[in-house]
A and B are shown apart, each in its own frame.
Chain A
Amino acid sequence: MSTQENSQKLISTEVQVDERTHDGSADTVVSAADLSVYYGDDQALSDVSVDIPEKRVTAIIGPSGCGKSTFLRSINRMNDRISMCRVEGRLQFNGKNVYDDDVDPVALRRRIGQVFQSPNPFPKSIYDNVAYGLRVQGKADDVDLDKEVERALKQAALWDEVKDKLDSFGLDLSGGQQQRLCIARAIAPDPEVVLMDEPTSALDPVAASKIEDLIEDLAETYTVIIVTHNMQQAARISDKTAVFLTGGELVEFDDTATIFEDPDDQRVEDYITGKFG
């Protein structure tokens, strides 16, 4: 892709962004206040404060090792699964600090889904992969499972490709299809927030662009928070962008257009223009 195309794309996205962010301010779903995360003696996040709006795509960008994945995992407490990990400060989900003693991380994760960097479908059928969340959350009996599986696969833009082979092995799909299957698995139990950790980094450009299109559609129903190392991707699909820099510091958070056109912080401008990171 040439630089010229890039900049054209940037501008066209920016027009869209303007439309979407200025038609009324959205409620905050996830908000961090002075959030610090440590792995043993290493600090991975340092005093992060941010308010993430409902039903928008929020991108988190920054150089590798800047703590962007750590931030994502601290939202649904997947960091709890790392024994060395320690969290300070607050992280609120709909106003509730998820690190309070009376919060069960399993209950939290049932309202916040996640999609991982490399597709990780279970070695089960496509149907069973999508139905997994509904089954483990005990919702399988209350809903029409077939209908919910179809709905999730349609939202994940995979239905047309797999509707005739729902019983076949999820691992037999292509990489891009597997990742969309994982998206369907994450949204099938109808969470409020979907976290995505570099969901396209293991995919080829065509598969990646399908997922990008899909993410924009998902934001009509869900709050999407996406970590990406690809700045063009952030510019294309996100409404808000948070820039993390080395040391786990959140340097700037604003409308995506502002971040890419006229950032306040010189370091962000350097990073965006490639002078840094």
Chain B
Amino acid sequence: MSTERKGDVTGRSITDVDLSSEKFKNRLFYGLLLAASSFGVVMLVFLFADIFYEAAIGQREFGIELGRFLGNTGSQTPANAGFYSAIIASVWLMALTVVFILFLGISTALYLVEYAPDNRTTRLIEANLANLAGVPSVVYGILILALVVNGAGLGSVILAGAFALSALVVPIVIVASIESIRAVPDGMRDGSAATGATKWQTIRRVVLPQSLPGIMTGTILALARAVGETAPLLMVGALFTDTSVPGGPFDSFSSMPVQIYNWTFLPQREFLALAAMGIIVLLVVLLLMQAVAVYIRRKYERDVSLTGV
């Protein structure tokens, strides 16, 4: 800086004093930022340590075995309690949710990108998307409670749970689909139209195949959000402890997070250990979903680089 040019001894000593206070402020500020940034890291470490600690206590002191935990259905007695019916319920919920959100997500995005005229209706739909994404999950729960569980008289069944989860996460799929459909170069659409394809032929044969990887990534991320959701399922009447294994969309159900909530809520320490085991299973599932999403994104990026002619 300019101070180096000064040959004058007294001048330099004055600037040195100024700079050292500046340097101190800079270092203090940097330290503060670093401390704040490590807060999240520290909390995450505590969180994982806590989960594994409780799970270890469960294994050592209460004799909870992983095999029995994964194989047994829910039970009021900690020694017999397992996660199996909750896992199966979550699988059912995901299977139904993925159908709803893929269909609704792709259709809505295709309409908005490929068909929608630039008018007020379109802008209303787009603005509404942002609003829907911000509605608390518990509110979607009571919406489905009123409309589907009681209104349509379906009762507290897996299908109703899937509706609530779909309503919650479909904006994620729509936004991801819009982005990846917009990313298809217009040259592709022009090339197809000029070859005599109708609009739908262009979409089905050119636009959709190219945007599918992005849509899939968005869908998996949405499912990862849905699989960890508890509140909407509680509202539509998920069972806290399911002693039977659900066999179809019209069965009553629990789910992994709902079962974890119940165990966490109960006062006995054994149940806390069971909750910790359940959390580990849930986190492993989430990790796998994330890995698949990353894998698809990597592959997709390669394709994009090839398309970027």
Chain A residues engaging chain B, CB cutoff 8 angstroms: 76, 78, 81, 83, 106-107, 109-110, 113-114, 116, 118-123, 132-133, 135-137, 169, 171-172, 175, 178, 182, 185-186, 189, 195
Q: By the criterion CB–CB under 8 Å, are B303 and A123 in contact?
A: yes
Task: Verify A185–B191 contact, CB threshold 8 A.
Answer: yes
Minimum CB–CB distance from B180 to chain A (whole Å) comes to 14
Residues in B neighbouring A114, C-beta threshold 8 A: 190, 194
Contacts of B193 in A (CB 8 A): 78, 81, 106, 109
Interface size on B, residues (CB 8 A): 24
- Given A83-B118, A123-B209, A136 and B198 touching (CB < 8 A)? yes
Q: What separation, in Å, do the CA atoms of A21 and B188 have in the docked complex?
A: 36
Having A120-B191, A123-B303, one finds 6 other A-B pairs with CB under 8 Å, namely: A106-B193, A120-B185, A122-B192, A123-B209, A169-B306, A171-B307
Give the residues in chain B near A185, CB-CB below 8 Å.
Answer: 191, 195
Q: Contacts A109-B196, A136-B205, A189-B196 known; A171 to B309 CB distance under 8 Å?
A: yes
Shortest Cβ distance from B189 into A: residue = A81
User: What is the CB-to-nearest-CB distance from A46 to chain B, in angstroms, rounded to a whole number?
Assistant: 25
Question: For A116, what are the chain B residues with a Cβ–Cβ distance below 8 Å?
Answer: 187, 190-191, 194
Binding site for A on B (CB under 8 A): 117-118, 185, 187-198, 201, 205-206, 209-210, 303, 306-307, 309
Question: Contact partner of B201 among A107, A118, A122, A136, CB < 8 A?
Answer: A136
Residues of B within 8 A of A172 (CB): 306
Q: Which residues of A contact B118 (CB under 8 A)?
A: 83
Q: Is the CB of B196 within 8 A of A110?
A: yes
Q: Which 5 A-B pairs have the closest CB atoms?
A: A110-B196, A114-B194, A120-B187, A136-B197, A133-B195
Give every chain A residue within 8 A of B307 (Cβ-Cβ): 123, 171
User: In the docked arrangement, what's the CA distance between A120 and B307, Å?
Assistant: 9
How close is A185's CB to chain B, nearest CB, in angstroms? 6
A137 to B209, CA, bound (A): 19
Which residues on A sit within 8 Å (CB–CB) of B191? 116, 120-122, 182, 185
B250 smallest CB distance to A (angstroms): 42
Residues of A within 8 A of B205 (CB): 122, 132, 135-136
Tell me the bound Cα distance from A135 to B189 in angstroms: 16
**Which residues on the A side are within 8 Å of B309 (C-beta)?**
118-120, 171, 175, 178
- If A123-B209, A123-B303 touch, whether A81 touches B190 (CB-CB below 8 Å) is yes
Nearest Cβ on chain B to A65's Cβ, whole angstroms: 20
